[in-house]
Chain A
Amino acid sequence: MSMARKTGGDEETGDRGVSRRTFVGAAGTTAATALAGCSGGDGTPTPTSGGGGGGGDGDDDSTPTADPAAAQRGGTLVAGMQSGLDGRDPHLVQAASTLRVLENIYGKLVEIDQDLKPVGQLATEWSVSDDDLTWTFQLREGVMFHPPESRELTAADVVYSFERLLNEDTGSPWRSNFTPIANVSADGDYTVVFEFDEPYAPFLFKLSSGGYILPEGADDASDYDIADQPVGTGPFVFDENVAQARTNVTAFEDYWGTDGDGNALPYLDEVEFQVIPEGQARLTNLQSGSIDWAVTVPPSQADSLEGSNSITLSNIPGTFYDYVGHNTTNAPLDDVRLRQAISWAISRESIVQGARFGYATPTQDPIPPASVWKDLISVDEPYSQDQARAESLREESDYDGEELTIQVGQQFPAQVNIAEIVQQQLGEVGITATVQPTDFGTMISNLNEGAYDLTIVGWSGFVDPDDMMYLQFHSGETFNQSNYSNEEVDELLEQGRQAAGDREERAAFYDDAIDIIAEEVPYTFLEFNDELAAWRNSVKNFTHISTGTPRFRDVWLEG
């Protein structure tokens, strides 16, 4: 089943509840090499946690080593979100705003840390069989479910959760992440075994997105309805939801997590997620103090926060990138020289400045800047704006002035701006194009049916190269809307998916693939947008992750 994409809406103005940010964990190290707890790549304090591979000795918890002694308990943190809950069952929901709330209610075996690496959450350690076909996870003991279940988490719950995900009747959008699983079984109360027919390198990262654990028998529980009353193992219990207005969650006393000094988490009493779609309004409320934390600050306003002494602006490289999608089978775009001409015509710098006010980094590939794979996978011959070369390529191609349409989601002004910039720059090299804002839902159908020439749209949340490239560029895959097909690229992507070696080995396949893709231009990659969030200085100990997911379990409010 599909994993739809997520476009620019999440960035600035109202996310019309349409966006689907897919969190797909990046593949950690594969089975064989045991990797002792890996400390943070670039010196930021990372949770000591079980790395991938056998014998990982994940110790008790994954809280950053802030000075917990000064932590103050209590208080309600008000978070400004972009849209309300789109649903309450984590297996059925993909919208970014909804997942950011459920992340604080439900638990999962593995989660992503600041370096976009998988770390244990409900799983303390895990190991992989020699033939890479069997993954065994050790569950943390003493993890309690929220009321009304109020009982300890066991392997049976994990098995139930994954069977529910794999069951077609559930109709979960995450199902395609887990279809390779042949069988999941419990081995005693605290061990879960996953069996595969062929190696599945990105499994750890797939678990970290969508692999939420529900109590066994949740669907036919008598005393609550899982669709209305979420019951998870997370730090906060679902309290109340007012459609399109706010969602309240309260602290879970029996939460298993504790801070560095062993005192119970979470510090906060309650978190209120308020729906404020207008970026400007979120900012105003943050400045006036009626909210404490704001998701996606509009880049156009970010400068005004730089100097503020009461608000912290956190600006880290994000996982969301925009690109120009080419319909490679639709004349005249079936001529690769025209597609290359388009790539040479576009100035990524003016897009970063014009549409994102500088809060983005130009890119030639789908690898997020913060990702550990960044320096391993890159395009050897990067594009830049070269109008002369673009024009000569255009003349060589059999393009003779037809008008190309650029379809873009009308709900996402930032991307409409990008489309206008691209249209202007194509015009400068003799390629005439018109911008066609379309309703996002309709546009996605058009892209699927190939009823388009060019499109400006984006992907987000990918951490593992397999997710960045497999479904988009492998022939016939669900998201290959460019109808791009190259045997060599297919071969490389399949090898990457099953590669047993370490990261460098696996990266090599993707590095070769990206060079061919850059050459044949099914996509013109544009820019990775910064992940902007802002909070009042009274909000302490918040860990800002590139995927933008807010975890409030170890956050506390000062004064």
Chain B
Amino acid sequence: MGYGAYVLKRVLLIGPILFGVSLISFGALELLPGGPVEAAFGTRANPELVEQLREQYGLNRPFHVRYLDWVGDIVLNQDFGQTIRTERDVSTLLATSLPPTIWLAASGALVSVFIGIPAGIVSAVNHYEPEDYLATFLAFLGLSIPNFFLGLVLILVFSLYVPIFPSSGFVSPLEDPVEGVRTLVLPALTVGTAISAVVMRMMRSSLLEVFSEEYIRTARAKGLTRALVTNKHAVKNALIPTVTVVGLNFGYLLGGVVIVEQIFAIPGIGRLTLTAILTREYRVLQGSLLVIALLFALVNLATDLLYAYLDPRIKYD
């Protein structure tokens, strides 16, 4: 079965999961106490207005009708409905909130790769040397430091005492690359640290395993320099399990994004979801949970495809 067919099969697999997520996010929120209208307005709004709004949003129709209507809008014309209180179009809200989150998650993953992998190599090559113990301890530290505490400390150091990076806001690197990158540095570091710890330990353990493999000795017997043996032969093999770890931890990364967006005031989908939960904007919440789940599924797919690309032994069955 060719690579293309494998990809198609994986994409089709996303369908059922998205269906499950949409059902839960739609159902759970609609049926909870304090229906959308009462909660959104939150005041002793006079009954007729509440009734009128329920009519207007068709909230009195049976559950499945409303669910199919909602999903239909999304699938057919990408219309996620309206926010209740200010009639803002949810689709545009989601559209504007998605890029910052993607930039943040991607830069977080990048940080985790560019810190985690070299650190993993250093500590594997210097196995049981001081560098190894130091790197491992830092990795544990990275894993244990709460990202919001790290974020606050980074703000304190890098935008208060030594003001080089802005402490909040988001500029899309597409519009203004320099400013864009500057605003992303601290948040990316905050989000990426924990994952870089996981990547580093994964890289270290898989490298140690690879070093004991026969083909490494063959490479050395061919007269290759130590750097070539490590960077070309060993790392290429060790990357395979490490890549899957980054993919597996995307959920962890996304969790971190929600909090980091709050600290650095990045108008991403994490913050949108958090505000939607607190202000009971159900349409926004349902839409954003669906988008996050889709993001999640796509990343898992990307990890698998990268895995198949890196390891020629994988057959696409």
Contact = CB atoms under 8 A, between A and B. Distances in A.
Given A243-B96, A442-B34, A445-B42, A93 B265 contact: no
B258 to A, nearest CB: 14
B265 A278 contact: yes
B45 interface: yes
Q: How many residues of A sit at the interface, in one of the four size bands?
A: 35 or more
B9 to A, nearest CB: 37
B77 interface: no
A16 B278 contact: yes
Interface in B264-301: 264-265, 267, 271-272, 275, 278-280
A245 interface: yes
B267 A242 contact: yes
B280 A441 contact: yes
B30 interface: no
Contacts of A284: 155, 159-160, 163, 167-168
A490 interface: no
Nearest to B164: A288
Contacts of A445: 34, 38-39, 42-43
Contacts of B45: 1-2
B267 to A, nearest CB: 3
A4 B42 CA distance: 8
Interface stretch (B85-93, B137-145, B239-247): B85-93
Interface string A233-245: 0000000001111
Interface in A418-466: 439-442, 444-445, 448-449
A337 to B, nearest CB: 29
Given A1-B49, A2-B44, A92-B86, A17 B163 contact: no
A461 to B, nearest CB: 16
Which one of B92, B96, B169, B280 has the greatest number of beta carbons of chain A within 10 Å?
Answer: B169
A354 interface: no
Contacts of A549: none
B86 A276 contact: no
Contacts of A84: 267
B44 to A, nearest CB: 4
Interface string A88-131: 00001100000000000000000000000000000000000000
A397 B14 CA distance: 64
Contacts of B271: 244
A288 B159 contact: yes
A226 to B, nearest CB: 12
Contacts of B212: none
B46 interface: yes
Given A244-B97, A284-B160, A86 B168 contact: no
A17 B43 contact: no
B41 interface: yes
A47 interface: no
A171 B49 contact: yes
B168 A441 contact: no
A322 to B, nearest CB: 19
A440 B42 CA distance: 9
B250 interface: no
Contacts of A17: 275, 279
Contacts of A4: 42-43
Given A243-B93, A285-B166, A275 B267 contact: yes
Nearest to B40: A441
Contacts of B260: none
Contact of B265 (A1, A92, A281): A281
A280 B49 CA distance: 40
Q: How many residues of B sit at the interface, in one of the four size bands?
A: 35 or more
A339 to B, nearest CB: 22
A448 B44 contact: yes
A276 B53 CA distance: 33
Interface in A506-520: none
Nearest to A4: B43
Contacts of A16: 275, 278-279
Contacts of A18: 278-279
B279 A441 contact: yes
A482 to B, nearest CB: 13
Contact of B96 (A93, A168, A242, A285): A242
A243 B97 CA distance: 8
Contacts of A275: 169, 265, 267
Nearest to A93: B86
A486 interface: no
B278 A281 contact: no
Contacts of A281: 155, 167-168, 264-265
Contacts of B263: 278
Interface in B72-91: 85-88
Nearest to A284: B167
A87 interface: yes
Nearest to B56: A171
Contacts of A244: 96-97, 267, 271-272
Nearest to A439: B278
Contacts of B26: none
A1 B159 CA distance: 45
Nearest to B39: A441
Given A4-B43, A441-B42, A276 B169 contact: yes
B279 A2 contact: no
A72 interface: no
Nearest to B86: A87
A277 interface: yes
Contacts of B211: none
A290 interface: yes
B107 to A, nearest CB: 18
Given A2-B44, A244-B272, 9 more contacts: A17-B279, A242-B96, A245-B169, A275-B265, A275-B267, A278-B265, A285-B167, A285-B169, A288-B163
In the complex, the 8 A-B pairs of residues with the closest C-beta atoms, listed nearest first: A244-B267, A87-B86, A2-B43, A448-B44, A281-B168, A441-B42, A444-B42, A245-B267
7 contacts: A14-B265, A16-B278, A87-B87, A243-B93, A276-B169, A439-B280, A478-B43
Interface of A: 1-2, 4, 14, 16-18, 84, 86-87, 92-93, 168, 171, 227, 242-245, 274-278, 280-281, 284-285, 287-288, 290, 411, 439-442, 444-445, 448-449, 478
